[in-house]
């Protein structure tokens, strides 16, 4: 009985979490020139830059069934305009700032929240 109650409580708690609940990820700098290496965005103390926002799953519209190896969905890390301005200064002008949870993460982009 206790086990069932614990499972039910866990499910209820997890279902209460908002889709846009703020979490933290890191930022890295991806150079436009693909001959250069990406690097973690770091501050003046060489500390990794943490970014506040949330991951959101988007879906392509339309029928892409004829295209092989196309994933019809993609993730973006949603941040406020103020957060984007704060973190983009840690990358050079010839670099794109991107979100990542680790060095093994897939390559995603930021979306600016309206």
Mean pLDDT of 90-100: 95
For residue 18, give both structure tokens.
Answer: 């908002």
Mean pLDDT of 8-19: 37
What confidence tier does 67 reach under pLDDT thresholds 50, 70, 90? low
The closest of 58, 57, 53 to 20, measured between CA atoms, is 53
Q: Give pLDDT, residue 60.
A: 74
Q: Give pLDDT, residue 22.
A: 85
The ranges assigned to domains in the chain are: 19-112
pTM, entire model: 0.71
């Amino acid at each position: 009985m206790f086990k069932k109650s614990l499972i039910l409580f866990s499910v209820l708690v997890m279902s209460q979490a908002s889709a846009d609940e703020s979490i933290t990820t890191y930022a890295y700098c991806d150079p436009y020139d693909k001959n250069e290496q990406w690097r973690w965005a770091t501050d003046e103390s060489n500390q990794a830059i943490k970014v506040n926002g949330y991951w959101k799953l988007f879906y392509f519209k339309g029928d892409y069934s004829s295209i092989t190896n196309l994933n019809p969905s993609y993730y973006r890390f949603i941040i406020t305009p103020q957060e984007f301005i704060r973190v983009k200064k840690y990358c050079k002008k010839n670099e794109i700032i991107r979100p990542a949870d680790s060095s093994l993460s897939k390559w995603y982009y930021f979306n600016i929240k309206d």
